[in-house]
Amino acid sequence: MNAAQLLVKCLENEGVEYIFGIPGEENIAVMDALLDSPIEFIITRHEQGAAFMADVYGRLTGRAGVCMSTLGPGATNLVTGVADGNMDFAPMVAIAGQGATTRMHKESHQVLDLVNLFDPITKYSTQIREPEIVPEIVRKAFKNAQAEKPGAAFIDFPENVADMDVGNSVPLFVQSPQQSTAPVGKCRQVAELISAAKNPIIIAGNGIIRNKASAELVHFAELVNAPVATTFMAKGVLPSAHPLSLGTVGLKAYDLVSYGIDDADLVICIGYDMIEYDPAYWNPNADKRIIHIDSRAAEVDTNYIVEAGVIGDMKNSLTRIAARCESEPRKPMVKLREKIKHELNKHADDTGFPVKPQKIIHDLGKVLDPEDILISDVGAHKMWVARMYQAQRPNTCIISNGFASMGIALPGAIAAKLVYPEKNIVAVAGDSGFMMNSQEVETAVRLGLNITIIIFNDNKYGLIEWHQLRHYGRASHIDVTNPDFVMFAESFGAKGYKVDSAESLVGILEEAMNDGTVSIIDCPVDYSENMKLTERLKSLTSIDQE
């Protein structure tokens, strides 16, 4: 058995189902070994798409998604997706072929120092220099990638090492450390602070999803009777329909939910990753009393000085704290929630064309079941999805908000459909973000996947225009032209739709989701609503909660 065959055995040992990637000359030994493996190699049309697929697979399953490339340009094409997975705390392992060790000491065709290239954007980056260390390296890569807070690992595999004999080497036993339980004294301290608070609020982050602690969060929030605001990546940890839900925080602008945080005398941050939403935006004066409940100690930040913290297994922490709290007869911001609810439904029956983004989001919520999954790309539409899409379950609205990279929606939808073939999967993208990885339509069609892609089409980089207009009052270099997306879809063997009225959108969405193939919906969008939202948020006044 050679080292490449051992590597594949080690990946099987880790429970790997799929490897997303592109074959190349320097990874042919691994490609050959995969012919005798139950692992399915998903051929993509670009390595960035492969990395995004591994990223979203890891986020949805909690198990490391795996992507693979050849050396040089193949490996550098992985960088954006690997960085995205690492900053979004998605477990993933990237593997790249490399030139032979006999030519790495000098200038050599396509050879780069990949270990140092990937080191700043991963939790672990290394090269396999001897065949017998393959089991240790693979085990360490997966252990690091999947440990809380999860992220990316990178393995550089020289072509000559891949062909070397490994003797009697075998995969290592898979072990995962158990998270520590919450200290009793800290739980008591936090419970006392909560009981003394008159108007607490909870900021719930993606750590709750990663730790599968949504049920414990709901029980805890109901017991202490505190309203819950979620980050973009935590949508659904508390159902949007729940009476304690205040919706989403994360807009840099002052939004309705900001009043809830302003009025709170205690902010309970649970599984909160500040990479998503800088505390300077919600605690600008650094005067809020903050409780930190997480798997790791709080980051050092001037605007995030913790009154008390509970570190450990999040489900255990919430259960232990709840056991020391009494049900509180608070009135949790009822008028604020009603105002937010009115805002969310205000454009439900709008007939304007091009279609308002609020109307598109409302109609998506209307046709998708609570267990279906929406994957949002990055762009102006992401802000509307984050603010207005009503997720009822965790991990049913996937938003990249750490690295926040354009181009993730279509590859992410492919991964989501492989994980959950029984669910409807909808990718939501702007025209520019879609074009960044549009070649993966062929991948989805070839795999026979039933996914729906809706394109918010404004023929420009709409989010950048929004920022330009806010800051300078004029736009600069943001206009683009697009193909006929219906013909584009049909050229790949997919189905294409063009929305020509707001009233037709629901019917088109329903038809597309039942097509049994890849469907692309071109929906012209009215992004004049962006600046209208900015002006409305600027003019917000205080809200009476009594």
Q: Which residues contact 80 (CB under 8 A, 6 or more apart)?
A: 48, 51, 403, 405, 407
Q: Is pLDDT of 254 > 80?
A: no
Peptide bond into 149 cis (omega under 30): yes
The predicted model gives 475-490 an average pLDDT of 96
Q: Is pLDDT of 543 > 60?
A: no
C-alpha distances out from residue 475 to 78, 252, 380, 406, 431, Å: 32, 20, 15, 20, 18
With bands split at pLDDT 50, 70 and 90, how would you rate the model's confidence at 542?
low
Beta bridge mates, 478? none
pLDDT of 260: 87
CATH number for region 3-162: 3.40.50.970
Give the neighbor-by-neighbor strand order of the sheet with 152-158.
40-43, 18-21, 65-69, 92-98, 152-158, 124-127
C-alpha distances out from residue 313 to 165, 216, 328, 517, Å: 42, 12, 25, 41
The predicted model gives 415-436 an average pLDDT of 98
Structure-model confidence comparison of residues 385 and 177, the more confident one:
385
Q: Is pLDDT of 544 > 60?
A: no
Average pLDDT, the chain: 94
Q: How far apart are alpha carbons 508 and 504 in whole angstroms?
A: 6
Q: Is pLDDT of 330 > 80?
A: no
pLDDT of 102: 82
- Which CATH class, in words, describes the domain spanning 184-336? alpha beta
SS3 19: strand
pLDDT of 343: 80
pLDDT of 540: 65
pLDDT of 329: 77
pLDDT of 283: 95
The predicted model gives 10-28 an average pLDDT of 97
Q: Is pLDDT of 196 > 80?
A: yes
On the question of a common fold for 184-336 and 346-534, the answer reads: yes
The domain made up of 346-534 has a fold known as: Rossmann fold (3.40.50)
Q: Is pLDDT of 386 > 60?
A: yes
The predicted model gives 160-167 an average pLDDT of 95
Q: How far apart are alpha carbons 266 and 258 in whole angstroms?
A: 14
With bands split at pLDDT 50, 70 and 90, how would you rate the model's confidence at 501?
very high
The predicted model gives 448-459 an average pLDDT of 98
The number of angstroms, rounded, from the C-alpha of 389 to the middle of its chain's C-alpha atoms is: 15
Q: What is the percent of the chain where pLDDT is above 70? A: 98
Q: Is pLDDT of 110 > 90?
A: no
pLDDT of 338: 82
Peptide bond into 135 cis (omega under 30): no
The predicted model gives 264-283 an average pLDDT of 94
Q: How far apart are alpha carbons 280 and 303 in whole angstroms?
A: 6
Q: Is pLDDT of 12 > 50?
A: yes
Q: How far apart are alpha carbons 226 and 267 in whole angstroms?
A: 10
Sequence ranges of the domains in the chain: 3-162, 184-336, 346-534
With bands split at pLDDT 50, 70 and 90, how would you rate the model's confidence at 545?
very low
The predicted model gives 305-332 an average pLDDT of 90
The predicted model gives 197-217 an average pLDDT of 96
Structure-model confidence comparison of residues 167 and 215, the more confident one:
215
With bands split at pLDDT 50, 70 and 90, how would you rate the model's confidence at 428?
very high
Q: Is pLDDT of 153 > 90?
A: yes
